[in-house]
Amino acid sequence: MSRPTKALISKKALCHNYQVAQELAPNSNNLAVVKANAYGHGAVVVASILEALVPAFGVACIEEALELRAGGIQKPVLLLEGIFSSDEVELAANNNFWIMVDNSQQAEWVLNANISKPVKVWLKVDTGMHRLGVQPKFVNEIYLALRASDNVNNDIVLTTHFSSADEHGSGETANQMAIFDKTKASLQDCLDQADNIPCSLANSAGLLAHPKSHLDWNRIGFMLYGNSPLERENEASKRLIPVMTLKSAIISIREISAGQSVGYNQTWTASRTTKIATVAIGYGDGYPRSAKSGTPTLINGQIAPLAGRVSMDMITIDVTDITDVKLGDKVILWGPELPVNEVAKCSFTIGYEALTRMPKRTPSVLVD
């Protein structure tokens, strides 16, 4: 016997979601983003499942890339946040890690490195996110310097990152694409017209909602894990299947009277005679402490609302209206029947954060 709190990871759902991306963008290389421990799903586990399907992986930093190599992953790995010091260039070249160049300092590190084989580089353009990326007016100079260097492969990918592709009706994605196109055209003027500049725009929201953003490379994260990043679902996002089911079980049941409170600081008080079930999961297991009373959980296919504060190891739920509830019953905190986005909304956050906060303490179990 063991504590029933587990994150089940569905191999079938993961492959299905990647297949959805392939069908939506059949002419692109769809790179799988597995940073932050594959959004809480287990980076090596996820990458091992996807390795035969994907052309490359994306992570935030070289430590995450090395973790993939230590786990036996051989496909190229793009460092989405670039490098943090000059010595990382050699490590990247030797391990087939691709370097995102976000600024002139990173470009200098690549240009001045003493390496025996060239490294593949992506050059990020700041088209409006104003977080990372080279400003359009500096792109030609940096791209051409990188292209002329023996340290860099010829096929430098020009890329940018969307700020608002998830928002319904926002014109910002079109604005960013227009700035990108203009930047690319100016660069093309400096190159031989026959020279192809490989490009990458789409993240998950771009892939799902902005077909014009599907270029040579897409970089998809959240949608792979089966949840929609979109403010408003569309036909494409409805095809996704959540990969993680977070589950636990009831370890205690009691009846309390109207007027009695539950949990730390008595934040929830019963308005009727109420059956309270205690479930073996808390914020120490990745369930958000900020989840408010009323946040749905699922028992035997029925919704039971959270009642009172989330503790480190436990939550309490109101099961008065659940039929045949008993000790040991399985409780689903999120999964295919209860989207993590819904739970995240009740916790004043987004599904991305809820998933990536999954701690080591919660064992993950690979299922078919």
Chain mean position to CA 190: 36
Q: How far is it, in rounded angstroms, from Cα 152 to Cα 150?
A: 5
**Two tokens at 227?**
């949840």
Residue nearest to ligand PLP (CB): 221
Contacts (Cβ under 8 Å, ≥6 apart) of 95: 65, 66, 69, 77
- In this structure, the chain runs to a length of 368
Given the complex with ligand PLP, which of 205 and 281 has the nearer CB atom?
Answer: 205
Judged by CB under 6 A, the chain residues 55 through 84 that form the site for ligand PLP are 80
Q: How far is the CB of 151 from ligand PLP (least distance, A)?
A: 22
Task: Return the beta strands (E) in 221-342 as ranges.
Answer: 244-256, 261-262, 268-269, 274-279, 296-299, 302-305, 315-318, 330-334
Asked whether 249 and 338 are in contact (CB, 8 A), the reply is: no
Q: How far is the CB of 200 from ligand PLP (least distance, A)?
A: 8
Checking DSSP bridges between strand 121-124 and strand 157-159, what pairing results, if any? parallel
Q: Taking CB under 6 A as the rule, does residue 278 contact ligand PLP? A: no
Given the complex with ligand PLP, which of 143 and 283 has the nearer CB atom?
Answer: 143
Which of 7, 13, 25, 33 lies at the binding interface for ligand PLP (CB under 6 A)?
Answer: 33
Which of 119, 209, 220, 306 lies at the binding interface for ligand PLP (CB under 6 A)?
Answer: 220
117 catalytic residue (yes or no): no
Judged by CB under 6 A, the chain residues 160 through 199 that form the site for ligand PLP are 161
How many residues bind ligand PLP, per CB under 6 A? 12
Which of 147, 184, 219, 309 lies at the binding interface for ligand PLP (CB under 6 A)?
Answer: 219
Q: Which of 1, 7, 4 is nearest to 286 (CA)?
A: 7
Q: Taking CB under 6 A as the rule, does residue 128 contact ligand PLP? A: no
Q: Which of 362, 349, 351 is nearest to 248 (CA)?
A: 362
Q: What string of DSSP letters covers 47-115?
A: HHHHTTT-S-EEESSHHHHHHHHHTT--S-EEETT--SSTTHHHHHHHHTEEEEE-SHHHHHHHHH---
The window from 21-29, 49-57, 83-91, 217-225 that contacts ligand PLP (CB under 6 A) reads 217-225
Phi, psi of 14, rounded to the nearest 5 degrees: -60, -45
35 catalytic residue (yes or no): yes
Task: Check 6, 35, 124, 247 and give the catalytic one.
Answer: 35
Q: Taking CB under 6 A as the rule, does residue 276 contact ligand PLP? A: no
Which of 30, 173, 204, 295 lies at the binding interface for ligand PLP (CB under 6 A)?
Answer: 204
Confirm or deny that 131 is annotated as ligand binding: yes
**Two tokens at 224?**
């792979």
Confirm or deny that 312 is annotated as ligand binding: yes
Q: How far is the CB of 159 from ligand PLP (least distance, A)?
A: 8
Q: How far is the CB of 279 from ligand PLP (least distance, A)?
A: 29
Q: Taking CB under 6 A as the rule, does residue 98 contact ligand PLP? A: no
Assign 118 to helix, strand or coil: coil
Given the complex with ligand PLP, which of 134 and 298 has the nearer CB atom?
Answer: 134
Please compute Rg for the chain using Cα positions: 24
Q: Which residues bind ligand PLP (CB under 6 A)?
A: 33, 80, 161, 203-205, 219-223, 229
Binding site: what residues are annotated? 131, 312
Please identify every residue annotated as catalytic: 35, 264
Binding site for substrate: what residues are annotated? 131, 312
